Amino acid sequence: MTDEIADLRCTVAELIAENERLKEENERWARELAVIRDMLPKDYGFEEGTLEYAVAYPEGVRDLVKQTVERMKASDEFHKYLYEECDEYSVKLIKMLADCLPALDESKTDYTELSKEIREIYEAFSV
């Protein structure tokens, strides 16, 4: 009986030590996830308790990483879309300016300098 009690005490002591180790590990993961969260742009909008959930449940970490990657991809795709739209409108603007060249050349006012600048810009875009 005394051996069983001693074994139980040892087991309880081991469980308490393991519990403390796991608490420290959870705190460390919470700090690391907080650092990652702080590196991300503010518009990522992590909900209250996200980090605690991520630390408490392994699927929480997967969800957090998945959410972050999806938001980063969406942001990247949006910026790519904006770049393409900007590029397309820049080309349209340059073509419109080039279409104005004949009218500037025929004008009686002195637009020759403007005409030269538009031609230079158009040639730069045509390369």
pLDDT digits (tens, 9 = 90+) for 7-33: 888 888 899 999 999 888 888 887 887
Q: What's the token pair of residue 100?
A: 């104005």
How many Cα atoms occupy the beta-carbon half-sphere of 88 within 13 Å? 6
| pLDDT band (50, 70, 90) for residue 43 | low
What gap in Å lies between CA 65 and CA 56, rounded to an integer? Answer: 15
Cβ pair 39, 72 in contact under 8 A: no
| Structure tokens belonging to residue 61 | 């970490």
Instruction: For 104-125, write each residue's pLDDT tens digit.
Output: 667 666 666 667 777 777 777 6
Q: Is the full-model pTM beyond 0.85?
A: no
